[in-house]
Structure 1
Amino acid sequence: MEEQRKCVVVTGFGPFGEHAVNASWVAVQELEKLGLGDEVELCVYEIPVEYQTVQRLIPDIWIKHKPQLIVHVGVSGMATMVTLEKCGHNKGYQGLDNCQFCPGTQCCVEEGPECLHSAIDMDAVCKGVVEAKPDIQFTVSTDAGRYLCDFTYYTSLYKSHGKSVFVHVPPLGKPYTAAQLGQAVQAIIKVILDMLQQSEDQISCNHKH
Structure 2
Amino acid sequence: MCNDMDNLFKPIIMVTGFGPFANHPVNASWEAVKLINKEEIERKHNCELVLIEIPVTYENVDEFVPALWETHSPKFMMHVGVSGVANCFTIEMQAHKKGYQRMDYFDKCPADHVCPAEGAIRIHTKLNVEGLCKEFNDSISPEEKTSAVCSKDAGRYLCEYIYYTSLSVDNKRTLFVHVPDINVYPSEQTARGLERILDICLDQINQAEQTKEVTEKLKETNLNDGHESNKI
Shorter chain as denominator, the TM-score bin is over 0.9
Query: What do residues 34-66 of structure 1 show as CA deviations (whole Å, max 9, x unaligned)?
Result: 641320210011000000110111001101211
Give structure 1 stretches of 5+ with no counterpart: none
Greater helix proportion: 2
- In the alignment of these two chains, the number of paired residues is 208
Distance in structure 2 (CA, Å) of the matches to 1:115 and 1:162:
15
**5+ residue gaps in structure 2?**
222-232
Residue in structure 2 matching 1:187, options 191, 196, 203: 196
TM-score in terms of structure 2 length: 0.84
- Percent of residue pairs identical: 37
**Aligned pair partner of 1:133 in 140, 143, 149:** 140
Please state how far the C-alpha of 1:133 moved relative to its aligned partner.
Answer: 2.5
Matches within 5 A, 1:26-45: 26-33=31-38, 35-38=40-43, 39-45=46-52
Residues in 2 aligned to 1:109 and 1:85: alpha-carbon distance in whole angstroms: 20
Among 163, 184, 190, which residue is 2:173 paired with?
163
In 2, Cα distance between the equivalents of 1:37 and 1:112? 32
Which of 74, 99, 102 lines up with 1:95 in the alignment? 102
Deviation, structure 1 residue 113: 1.6
Change (3 A) 1:131 1:84: same
- TM-score, structure 1 normalization: 0.93
Superposed CA RMSD: 1.9
Residues 1-209 of structure 1: pairs in structure 2 closer than 5 A:
4-33=9-38, 35-38=40-43, 39-109=46-116, 112-134=119-141, 135=144, 136-174=146-184, 176-206=185-215, 207=217, 209=221
Query: Would the aligned equivalents of 1:92 and 1:107 in 2 still touch at CA under 8 Å?
Result: yes
- Which residue identity is paired with 2:25? A
Bigger mean CA deviation after superposition, 155-164 or 32-41: 32-41
Structure showing greater radius of gyration is: 2
Q: Quick check: 2:12–2:49 contact (8 Å CA) kept in 1?
A: yes
